[in-house]
């Protein structure tokens, strides 16, 4: 009797969780729409500018991003192969020293309560000093 009840629960929990908006890893129900900002959203670009300024003034020469233009979305990965949807974006960034660099970044979808919102990772080609996203920021580019 207990075994039958356990089997019944195992079948009902995923179905009920899908209706409630909760999903398990690998669930076929996790195909909802993108939850987060677009590549050219002001809050995304200002987050990149703020983080770049903080790192540069703390550790390097104090350069700042004074302009971001030619923003485009390169690819979108909705929930597959991972459970975190991403938007891959690129743009052109002009720095306060006059140099222009390609800006490569991805946006992580809004993860709700546990993930505390959307996130952004960025890289300026030619200014990845510790080769974190090397070569040429390829780690943040979509894999086709």
pTM: 0.74
- Distance between CA 42 and CA 144 in Å, rounded? 28
> Of the ranges 45-59, 68-82, 98-112, which is most confident?
45-59
Residue 101: pLDDT over 90? yes
One DSSP character per residue, 37-100 reads --TT-HHHHHHHHHHHHHHHHHHSS---EEEEEEEEEEEEE-SSSSSS-EEEEEEEEEETTS-E
Pick the residue with more confidence: 79 or 101?
101
Q: Is 121 exposed, middle or buried (0-12, 13-18, 19+ CB in 10 A)?
A: middle
pLDDT band at 117 (very low <50, low <70, confident <90, very high): confident
Residue 65: pLDDT over 80? yes
């Amino acid at each position: 009797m207990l075994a039958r009840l356990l089997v019944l629960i195992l079948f009902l929990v995923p179905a009920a969780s899908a209706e409630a908006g909760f999903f398990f890893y690998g669930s076929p129900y996790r195909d909802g729409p993108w939850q987060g900002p677009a590549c050219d959203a002001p809050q995304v670009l200002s987050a990149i500018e703020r983080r770049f300024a903080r790192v540069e003034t703390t550790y390097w020469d104090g350069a700042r991003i004074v302009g971001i233009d030619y923003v485009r979305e390169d690819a979108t990965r909705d929930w597959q192969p991972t459970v975190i949807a991403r938007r891959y974006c690129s743009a052109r960034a002009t720095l306060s020293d006059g140099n222009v660099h390609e800006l490569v970044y991805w946006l992580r979808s809004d993860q709700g309560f546990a993930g505390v919102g959307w996130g952004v990772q960025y890289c300026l080609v030619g200014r990845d000093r510790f080769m974190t996203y090397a070569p040429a920021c390829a780690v943040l580019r979509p894999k086709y």
